[in-house]
């Protein structure tokens, strides 16, 4: 195991005040502590598997005990002990003497509460709202998943989870690679309407979802939302542990509100990616229009006509300039990246 700790500024996820990179065999686990303002912090645990699949959990930290619970639930906890200790010490140092930020009381209407999401600067501010709304709608736990799929195979190559559940469960789910055999995820890839997990066919009689129930995921409502591209899917899973039919009933009755929450979380994520990509690539409005044309199936002739230049100029100047800015070998890959970054739809 190799551990590397650094302090650096980060993107819209908040300032990264700690980062520890740990190489464990063929896997790599990175722990980050982000400060989102006041007493708001998030723990980001990113696992990059040997095959290249990336799985990132974002967990709200409001007390030292929550860090302890997360570390205790980590299947790599023993190997990551020094990194978790350093992160905890940094958290205590950063949190000491800081002013506690009291979020303004939100209106009782669910849509008004969901509307607060667009004003969030960081995920640390986003998570409490998601928790408040889901609990008010009958869900004791939730997981919001951002999934990026390989265009050719359809396999999910990047998972990002906003965690509003028992960290022991999500760590177990990831460690056992259950995302490769998840009927909720398979449903979300192909559908856009909410569904209860009890209405889905499981792959066999002894499925791991029965174990999920022991962690409070007895009743599950899945709300898929698609981002306008086949390569990105998001899914809100809202769950409770009620053993009666009322547990499913309240989730189903509130499915429209929960789906609205999922849509708003998606919009927030896309807006952040677009802002980040705009700053990173420095594309002009004209270049963005070129990418839109290419993504829509436009040819070099269509681009030349739109820009009032020759096709030779498109191939020799326009495309190479965009490719260089985006670090891609050809314009089709540049357009695909622009879609995944939320720059174009």
Q: What's the pLDDT band for 204 if we cut at 50, 70, 90?
A: low
pLDDT (0 to 100) of residue 87: 96
pTM: 0.83
Digit-coded pLDDT (tens) for 132-141: 999 999 999 9
Task: Return the percentage of the chain with pLDDT > 70, whole number.
Answer: 90
Residue 126 has pLDDT above 80, yes or no: yes
CATH 1.10.10.10 boundaries in the chain: 282-340
pLDDT (0 to 100) of residue 14: 77
Residue 9 has pLDDT above 50, yes or no: no
DSSP code per residue over 45-66: EEEE-TTS-EEEEEEEE-SHHH
pLDDT (0 to 100) of residue 12: 54
Q: How far is the C-alpha of 20 from the C-alpha of 12, rounded, in Å? A: 19
If 0-12 CB within 10 Å is exposed, 13-18 middle and 19+ buried, where does residue 79 land? middle
pLDDT (0 to 100) of residue 280: 86
Task: Return the percentage of the chain with pLDDT > 90, whole number.
Answer: 63
pLDDT (0 to 100) of residue 232: 83
pLDDT (0 to 100) of residue 37: 66
Cα separations in angstroms, 122 against 39, 105, 117, 130, 275 = 13, 18, 10, 13, 13
pLDDT (0 to 100) of residue 3: 45
Residue 17 has pLDDT above 60, yes or no: yes
Residue 6 has pLDDT above 50, yes or no: no
Rounded mean pLDDT, 255-281: 89
According to DSSP, the residues that pair with 144 across neighbouring strands are 162, 236
pLDDT (0 to 100) of residue 103: 46
pLDDT (0 to 100) of residue 5: 44
Residue whose entry in the numeric block shows the structure tokens 């998030």: 42
- Comparing 94-108, 147-161, 331-345, the range with the smallest average pLDDT is 94-108
CATH 3.30.450.80 boundaries in the chain: 110-141+175-275
The CATH architecture of the domain made up of 110-141+175-275 is 2-Layer Sandwich (3.30)
pLDDT (0 to 100) of residue 8: 28
Residue 2 has pLDDT above 90, yes or no: no
According to DSSP, the residues that pair with 6 across neighbouring strands are 19
CATH class of 282-340: mainly alpha
Fold of 2-95: Nuclear Transport Factor 2; Chain: A, (3.10.450)
The mean pLDDT of the chain is 88
CATH 3.10.450 boundaries in the chain: 2-95
Q: Positive or negative, the Cα torsion across 160, 57, 144, 104?
A: negative
- Comparing 14-23, 184-193, 200-209, 314-323, the range with the smallest average pLDDT is 200-209
Residue 192 has pLDDT above 60, yes or no: yes
Digit-coded pLDDT (tens) for 205-255: 557 888 899 999 999 999 999 876 667 889 999 999 999 989 999 999 999
Could you count the other beta carbons within 10 Å of the beta carbon of residue 151?
12
């Amino acid at each position: 195991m190799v551990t590397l700790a650094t302090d650096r500024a980060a993107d819209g996820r908040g300032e990264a005040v700690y980062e520890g990179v740990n190489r464990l065999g063929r896997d790599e686990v990175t722990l980050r502590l982000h400060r989102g303002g006041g007493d708001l912090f998030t723990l980001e645990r990113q696992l990059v598997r040997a095959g290249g699949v990336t799985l990132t959990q974002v967990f709200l930290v409001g007390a030292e005990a929550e860090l302890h619970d997360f570390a205790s639930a980590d299947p790599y906890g023993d190997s990551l002990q020094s990194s978790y200790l350093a992160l905890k010490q940094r958290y205590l140092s950063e949190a000491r003497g800081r002013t506690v930020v009291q979020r303004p009381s939100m209106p009782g209407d669910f849509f008004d509460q969901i509307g607060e999401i667009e004003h969030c600067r960081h995920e640390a501010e986003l998570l409490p709202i998601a928790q408040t709304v889901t609990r008010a709608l009958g869900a004791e736990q939730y997981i919001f998943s951002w999934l990026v799929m390989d265009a050719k195979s359809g396999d999910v190559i990047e998972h990002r989870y906003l965690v509003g559940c028992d960290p022991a469960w999500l760590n177990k789910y990831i460690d056992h690679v259950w995302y490769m055999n998840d009927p909720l995820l398979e449903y979300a890839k192909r559908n856009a309407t909410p569904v209860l997990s009890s209405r889905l066919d499981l792959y066999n009689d002894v499925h791991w979802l029965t174990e999920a129930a022991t962690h409070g995921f007895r009743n599950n409502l899945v709300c898929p939302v698609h981002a306008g591209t086949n390569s990105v899917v998001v899914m809100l899973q809202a769950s409770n542990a009620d053993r009666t039919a009322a547990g499913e009933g309240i989730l189903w009755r509130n499915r429209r509100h929960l789906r609205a929450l999922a849509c708003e979380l998606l919009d927030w994520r896309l807006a952040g990616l677009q802002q980040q990509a705009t700053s990173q690539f420095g594309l002009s409005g004209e270049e963005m229009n070129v990418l839109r044309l290419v993504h829509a199936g436009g040819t070099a002739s269509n681009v030349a006509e739109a820009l009032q230049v020759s096709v030779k100029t498109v191939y020799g100047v326009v495309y190479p300039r965009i490719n260089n800015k985006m670090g891609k070998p050809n314009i089709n890959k540049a357009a695909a990246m622009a879609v995944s970054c939320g720059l174009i739809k």
